[in-house]
Amino acid sequence: MTILIVDDSRLMRNIVKNCFSLLKVPCQYVEAGNGKEALMRLQSQPINLVLLDWNMPEMSGIEFLKRVRAMDKYKDLPIIMVTSEGAKYNVIEALKYGATDYIVKPLSEKYLREKIFKIIS
- 96 CA to centre of own chain: 16
Total count of residues recorded for the chain: 121
Residue 96 predicted with pLDDT over 90? yes
Q: Which pLDDT band holds residue 110 (cuts at 50, 70, 90)?
A: confident
Residue 121: per-residue pLDDT? 66
Top CATH class, 2-49+61-108: alpha beta
Residue 80 predicted with pLDDT over 90? yes
Residue 116: per-residue pLDDT? 78
| Nearest partner of 66 among 85, 93, 37, 87, judged by Cα | 93
Pick 111 or 42 by higher pLDDT.
42
Dihedral of CA atoms 90, 114, 99, 12 in degrees, nearest 10, equals 70
Residue 111: per-residue pLDDT? 79
Strand (E) or helix (H) holding 121:
none
